[in-house]
Amino acid sequence: MKKLLSSLALCALPLLAHAAPVVEMTTNKGVIEITLDSAKAPKTVANFVSYAKAGFYNGTVFHRIIDGFMIQGGGFDGKLEQKKTNAPIPNEAANGLKNTIGSIAMARTADPNSATAQFFINVANNEFLDYKNPTPQGIGYAVFGKVSKGMDVVNRIAKTHTGSMKGMDDVPFEPIVIQKVVVKP
């Protein structure tokens, strides 16, 4: 029985590792490691990992930075041209995860089910973005992971001087480039 339990435990290790994928986001300001929560946000994590593995995020920028709130990226290239994305995914904000400091969530439009590739990392506790109810006003923004290393990099990025560019506000004057996003083995 002991051998059977040991064998089962060893077989479960790859499943446990798969349950919490880790991505390494290399930026021109440093490396951010993010642990994703595929148990609570399976569709959102699968979507993010799919974009990462396809190299979609490589060369994109953090195009919206609001110190004391969040840093947003994943949808625009270095010329602030929006990249073509896959179809939107369903909103998984009712998963119990909160928009707390260091959490990563999907950006979206007013349509709760419009998230594609853009994400944001919270630099404050933003409970007003959390799920409250299934109405369009209460559905919130789907958190799908948390910064596990490199919060100092996130905070440094949040301090970048911003303004208006190409019809958008809160754009950093100094490009903050996501050089690559790699799913760690």
20-76+90-182 maps to CATH 2.40.100.10? yes
Q: What is the mean pLDDT of residues 25-47?
A: 98
pLDDT of residue 142: 98
pLDDT of residue 12: 45
Per-residue pLDDT reduced to its tens digit, 57-79: 999 999 999 999 999 999 999 99
Return the DSSP state at 159: T
pLDDT of residue 185: 87
Q: What is the DSSP string of 11-76?
A: HHHHHHHHHS-EEEEEETTEEEEEEE-TTT-HHHHHHHHHHHHTTTTTTEEEEEEETTTEEEEEEE
Give the pair of three-digit tokens for residue 163.
């303004």
- Structural domain boundaries in the chain: 20-76+90-182
Instruction: Say if pTM beats, i.e. exceeds, 0.85.
Output: yes
Calculate the average pLDDT of the chain.
Answer: 92
> 109 near 83, Cβ under 8 Å?
no
Percent of the chain with pLDDT over 70: 90
Residue 76's Cβ-count burial label (10 Å; 0-12, 13-18, 19+) is: buried
pLDDT above 60: residue 16: no
Going by pLDDT thresholds of 50, 70 and 90, the confidence category of residue 11 is very low
Enumerate residues 6+ apart whose C-beta is below 8 A from 9: none
Going by pLDDT thresholds of 50, 70 and 90, the confidence category of residue 19 is low
Q: How many Å apart are CA 118 and CA 47, to the nearest integer?
A: 11
Q: What is the mean pLDDT of residues 123-149?
A: 97
pLDDT of residue 14: 47
Per-residue pLDDT reduced to its tens digit, 69-126: 999 999 999 999 999 999 999 999 999 999 999 999 999 999 999 999 999 999 999 9
Q: How many Å apart are CA 6 and CA 10, to the nearest integer?
A: 6
pLDDT of residue 66: 98
